[in-house]
Amino acid sequence: MQDFPHHYQVSATAETTSHVELRSEGLSPIESAPPPEFGGPGDRWSPESLLVAAVADCFVLSFKAIAGASRLEWNGIHCDVDGVLDKLDGKMRFTEFKVSATLSVPNGTDQSKAARLLEKAEHACLITNSLIADRELTTKITVAN
């Protein structure tokens, strides 16, 4: 890992009637548009969906790193996130992120250890740690045969 601080640069470009194009060096561009809730077409990633996706992605990546360091055997992980956008004190903001994770582990895996590592991943996620919204984690562990 590189020394801190890390810097991440993204540019956004749009014309009067176009979607927004997001670019970052070395990555494929992404088109974004407002979500349907704000009159958008609903066929592009929106700032709202990108933020919720960042929470889900960070949780999974944090889990993978923690599980690897802890030598936990696992088969797969699925994470759903419900980001709640509301008005609070006259401002629109995300007030809560509900993270639901399902972890598949091989038979014989210490399920209590797996549960602890899912909790650790939620606490280690730098994205949710950077936000002021409440967060809730529910987990499910399944055993694969």
Whole-number Å distance between alpha carbons of 105 and 5: 35
Q: Specify the pLDDT at position 121.
A: 98
The pLDDT of residue 1 is above 90: no
Q: Are 63 and 118 in contact (CB under 8 A)?
A: yes
Q: For 47-144, which CATH class?
A: alpha beta
Residues 6+ apart with CB under 8 A from 135: 96, 97, 98, 99, 122, 128
* pLDDT level of residue 145 (50, 70, 90 thresholds): confident
| Range list of H helices, the chain | 47-69, 111-124, 126-129
User: Where in the chain are the domains?
Assistant: 47-144
Average predicted confidence (pLDDT) for the chain: 97
> For 66-78, what is the mean pLDDT?
98
Q: Specify the pLDDT at position 144.
A: 87
| SS3 assignment, position 22 | strand
